[in-house]
Amino acid sequence: MNAKQMFRSEYHGSKNFMTPDIIEIRSLPCDRAAYELSRGKGFLSPWPLYGVTVLGVNSRGDILRLRNLSKSFSGRHGYQAARAYIDSLKGRF
């Protein structure tokens, strides 16, 4: 199952209300995990909010929401921080 299929299967096309604009969905190096990078409007800030959502697949093929690895980033350098976080995830898998 590829990254887009994982997200479709788990979220059925639903968007995150905080970050509804999907920038990309990609697999992590192990192919048993994937991330979604998305963007939304900040509430108390003029800067956008970026979200990184992470999914994994266990040995039985079940999709797991890896909430402990999913994070949000805001502020002037939110996008760069989200990108740096994604790079750090690639080193974990």
pTM greater than 0.85? yes
Residue position matching structure tokens 């750090």: 88
pLDDT of residue 1: 87
Closest residue by Cα to residue 46 from 75, 71, 20, 23: 75
Per this entry, what is the length of the chain?
93
Residue 26 in this model has a pLDDT that exceeds 90: yes
User: In the prediction, which pLDDT does 92 show?
Assistant: 84
Q: Are 22 and 57 in contact (CB under 8 A)?
A: no
> Quick one: which H or E segment has residue 26?
strand 21-27
Per residue in 72-82, pLDDT tens? 999 999 999 99
Max CA separation in the chain (angstroms) = 44
